[in-house]
Structure 1
Amino acid sequence: MNGKVLLLLPTALLLAACSADPAVQSATPSQQAQQAQPSQSAAPVMESAPVDENAYILDACSSYASGEYIKISGMDGKTTIDLYDPETAVQLVKAKSASAMPDGWDSLRDGIVALSADLDPLSGTSTVLIYLKDAEEGDIYLTASGGSVIYDAFTGQAPAVYNAPTISLAEFNQISTGMSYDEVVAIIGSSGTLLSETDLGLGPEYVTAMWTWEGEGSLGANANVMFQGNEVSSKAQFGLE
């Protein structure tokens, strides 16, 4: 056989040698295991939708007023919510005229007071104040905060005594330096009339406002309260009794 020696290999080995991937042949067993695993894409991260704070408050207050009659604002650490419902207002005004407590007043009051404790305040504020009014910009009949009644126009045993929108000497004496406008309104029982306002454009603390209320007492009795940055800075009265 011409002195040559032929080395015969099994066919299966020859085919395996020819088809093997050089990269796989040179890889370690652990690397080969990693190459054999299918690639996995990272699972998408679900982001929670931002909370619409106003929508949350509107929904919570929907039992007492429709959205178009709910006014929400945040200022000086307080979330203020004004509630006005036309049908409820009719009953309040009638009761005021008759010096009587409206039907279902206890239930209505207790529900709003509980709501003032349950509601989360707007971001940047820590207190919730809820006002029930007889019109969108009208007189206040109920003020609630933190699960307590701050002002109730129909307190006491029936017939209840309505807190007139005018200011008395006793109410005037309750007003002290540092009180907010809302606290003064809660004492008097009405929003008063804005006489003047000066805004220097440097922030809420630089807004000066003068409010006036008609008084109970001699002819022309009245009271003026000056607010600096929504806090009482001074007050004056004439003829109050």
Structure 2
Amino acid sequence: MKLRVSFLGAKGGIGKTTIALHTAFYLSRKFRVLYIDKDLLSLGSLIMGFNGAGLYKAVMENLGKEEYEYKVRDNFVILKMFSNPLDEKTFNYVLKNKAEQLIKAYVDVVSKNYDVILVDYGLVSSLRDPLFFNEYEMFINNFKEYEMTAIGISDAIIENIYAALDYFNRLMNEISVKPLAFIINMVPQESRERITQIVNELKKRVNIEVFLVPFKDEYVQYKNLDKSTDFEDIFKFIEFKLLRE
């Protein structure tokens, strides 16, 4: 089984990139992982020390793949899509004038037999927005062997949890992708009992796994990305999907 897992959330600052990077480090111990950075601010790439031009700008300016493909370590590679910050003129120019070169460069990176592809969307209002849909369309047209799925993420503010779940379901319906899991992130110890009750309610109304992740300063500061044990249940859940025939 090969998976493409998108990380989505209705707000910024709720840990989408943190969780996606933790997941990439863990899974790369056993599997070949490609992390597609579709965040308009390219936060995941920056955290990993990569400040390349991004795929669209590299194609427009005829730059090498070192400007958008970055090896973090064995079995963990980043594909950075956008420049920093996003230059929409570059994006529109490439789609209009260099679409063939774009597809060729994209396929060259993605076609390296990755077991799992993790997609960090950043903050989006619609997956049908050309900024985000273009990459998705290139993927589904060239890599039909992957099961398409996604993980929704919310912070631990109660009203935000329900809003984030509705947002996540709407995005899944837009592109007919099957939801994999929903994560309530940054849960303070004093709120854990109440949030656990909400999780039990959610599990009755949605047919996906729901996970809790505690609040820790090190996660906010992007520390110990390859050492945390708080995400183990999530990692093993995805790993089980990968190992399933």
- If the length of structure 2 is used for normalisation, what is the TM-score? 0.27
More helix by share: 2
Question: Which structure has the bigger radius of gyration?
Answer: 1
Which structure exhibits the higher relative contact order, with contacts defined as CA atoms closer than 8 Å and separated by 6 or more residues? 2
Relative to total residues, which structure has the larger strand share, 1 or 2? 1
Query: Under a length normalisation based on structure 1, what TM-score does the superposition of the two structures give?
Result: 0.27
